[in-house]
Amino acid sequence: MPKRPNPGRIDRLRVRHLKLLALIGASGSLTAAAAELHVSQPSASKLLQDLEEAFGHSLVDRTARGGVLSAAGERALERLRIATGAIDAMGDGLAVDAGTPLVRIGMLPLAGVSLVPKLVAALAARQELPRMQLRDGPVSEVLRLLREGHIDCVIGRVDTDSSERHASTFDILPLVDEHFEVACGRDHPLARRRKLDLRVLQGERWILPHQDTYTRRVFDTAYMSIGSTPPPAHIESPSFHVSLATVAESRLLTIAPRSAVTFYASLGHVHKLSLARPFQPDYAVFVTLKNAVRLPAVELIRRELQAQSLKATRLASAH
């Protein structure tokens, strides 16, 4: 029968206690975890016993092949990953510049076009810029890194279909509208036409993201919502940077986040098509772990992003 957690025993836990559970979860073996920690198996068993006595639960279910985390072990590991991630971050931060805080940021590529550059510029102008480690990837990957304590926050977007599922784990702050736009080359025959219906674009050749991406789902849904079949991809592209650069040199069309299309258009590379029915608002967001310790540098970034988003919203309303 589970016991109540023992605060006195919890206070005596060391970093290797915390890492042991993560290693067992990854390897499914106490022996492999012991080898990774460079301790004997009896020592690893004692570390596990300390953990279980401290938390008042059996954390590992023993099997013929080793051991797998119990339900209580999985819940404990969710919290312990945050602790070990914070310890690793502290080591990284102090190793280079002990006087400047380090913020580990996960981001979607769209954040690198406007949000992050403007954030850095504003903080640097006030001499408040922390050190940053930027890691990009798909939504599922950066949220996993945040959940496991490998990063401190995420700048990107969260699929509307999964926002309720994430609400119990993350604090999600909406930022600017990053709805999608359609872009073409500057000399494309459609560039000067206005209020284009998506059906008119159905017969064009498209360079599109891969089928399993969020952007592709938005694109397909827009066509299906008007009772039309989505155009196939003439070229499937790994990123909107590749798509926009290709569109600039061809007669293809593409879909990309608003900030990316605006940026490439400002360079004179592409033209944003005028659509009769724009894509739905789709907000970039700032995500942190719910109930986690709020680092001052992370709060600084959150406030600056929120201030810039409010300013952008007011400017958009004025126009």
Domain coordinates of the chain in residue numbers?
7-78, 100-177+283-318, 180-272
pLDDT score at 46: 87
Shortest CA distance to 300 belongs to which of 286, 280, 315, 290? 286
User: Which pLDDT belongs to residue 293?
Assistant: 73
Which class would CATH give 180-272? alpha beta
Between the alpha carbon of residue 309 and those of residues 136, 294, 306, the distances in Å are: 21, 21, 5
If you classify domain 100-177+283-318 with CATH, what class do you get?
Answer: alpha beta
The fold for domain 7-78 equals Arc Repressor Mutant, subunit A (1.10.10)
pLDDT in tens, 227-261: 999 999 999 999 999 999 999 999 999 999 999 99
Which residue type does 118 have?
K
pLDDT at site 220: 97
Q: What is the pLDDT of residue 1?
A: 42
The two domains 100-177+283-318 and 180-272 share their CATH topology (first three levels equal): yes
User: What's the average pLDDT block by block, 10 residues per block, for the chain (319 residues)?
Assistant: 50 67 78 84 83 79 72 72 64 64 94 95 97 93 89 88 70 94 97 96 97 94 96 97 98 97 97 95 93 87 96 78
